[in-house]
Structure 1
């Protein structure tokens, strides 16, 4: 099909092997994207993923660094997000407790 389109649209004659070599990088990108987005399925209540992220925000016009606690349920992908001033152990515990 691609070879026919090359002839019809551009008047180019190319062998099948040439077309395959030219398309190989695009196929690899598509394959990598498909593999990267494979959903990891877990039964309900089986898994909770937690982590922190850091952002700069303006509070009363003053730039402040905040730490976002994010908990994601493995089955439903529902999120629980809380903002903390640090990633101290107490923040982890409060974030996990809030998620439950």
Structure 2
């Protein structure tokens, strides 16, 4: 028997219905943002909050670059100390 305040045949929304609800909420956020630029502040706030995470995620790449001595900015052409991509030409050209 049901307790007071408890529904006897309570049912939850199915996974498809929940997915549709979240898709509609997301789509409405996109429409509101495109129309009114309402989420610019929220987006910039998330960017500020996620900047330390980005830096932490870059650490393995920078450590690997330091260990191997390879970095795209330090690869230079044979005849010039200036990196090839700054000269607008490929390193294979002489």
Q: Same fold by TM (over 0.5)?
A: no
For CA contacts below 8 A with separation 6 or more, give which structure has more relative contact order: 1
Q: Which has the larger radius of gyration?
A: 2
TM-score (norm 1): 0.25
TM-score (norm 2): 0.26
